[in-house]
Structure 1
Amino acid sequence: MQFVDSDTFTADRPWGALDITDIDGASVRLHWTDQPYIWHINDGPEVFVVLDGAVDMHFRVDGEEYVEPLRPGRICLAEPGDEHVAHPAPEARILVIERKGSV
């Protein structure tokens, strides 16, 4: 068995990750960051759960940008084709579940 204290996890760089496990081709990773990611579109679904801190999830619909604040316990599902970027406010620990090797 493995136990992880997410509230104390840090990484040596923004979006550094601790690989928790792979489940049937999906990766489960704990990320720490104090910097935004990059605008991207996943090739499969992505489940994004803020465990500690806060994240402003920026996303585009028909070219128009929106922002949804995410706090601990709030879950975001990005479907394939959803253009998005996460901005920590000011830092966050995030559980991400997505297809292994996805962007």
Structure 2
Amino acid sequence: MKVIRSKEFTAERAWGALDIANMGGVTTRLHWTDQPYKWHVNDGEEVFAVLDGVVEMHYREQGLEKSAVLQTGDVFFAGIGCEHVAHPRGAARILVIEKEGSV
């Protein structure tokens, strides 16, 4: 049993993570960041939940770049092949659930 106080979590670098669980090859990690990630496509599906802060998620659909502003409590689902990049507005804490070893 573990209790994680997400609002208290920080990392030494942007996108630093706390591994919470690995359930049959699906990982759950808590990330802290104050910097954008990089454009990428995951090896599988990804659930991205903003626990604290605001994140602007950029993604591409049919070659067109789009974006959505995610507030605390919002969830972004990246299906297989979804190219995306997260840009936090200040510090943010994000719960990411994805295939083990994904980008």
TM over 0.5, yes or no? Answer: yes
Give RMSD over aligned pairs.
0.6
Deviations 1:59-91 (A, max 9, x none): 011221111000111111100100000000112
SS of equivalent residue, structure 1 residue 20: strand
State the alpha-carbon separation in 1 of the partners of residues 67 and 45 from structure 2: 19
Q: What residue in structure 2 maps to residue 41 of structure 1?
A: 41
Q: What residue in structure 1 maps to residue 14 of structure 2?
A: 14
Q: What count of residue pairs does the alignment treat as equivalent? A: 103
State the alpha-carbon separation in 2 of the partners of residues 43 and 20 from structure 1: 20
State the alpha-carbon separation in 2 of the partners of residues 57 and 5 from structure 1: 24
Q: What residue in structure 2 maps to residue 29 of structure 1?
A: 29
Instruction: Provide structure 2 residue ranges, at least 5 long, that are not aligned to the other structure.
Output: none
The yes-or-no answer on 1:98 pairing with 2:90 is: no
Q: What residue in structure 1 maps to residue 70 of structure 2?
A: 70
Instruction: Provide structure 1 residue ranges, at least 5 long, that are not aligned to the other structure.
Output: none
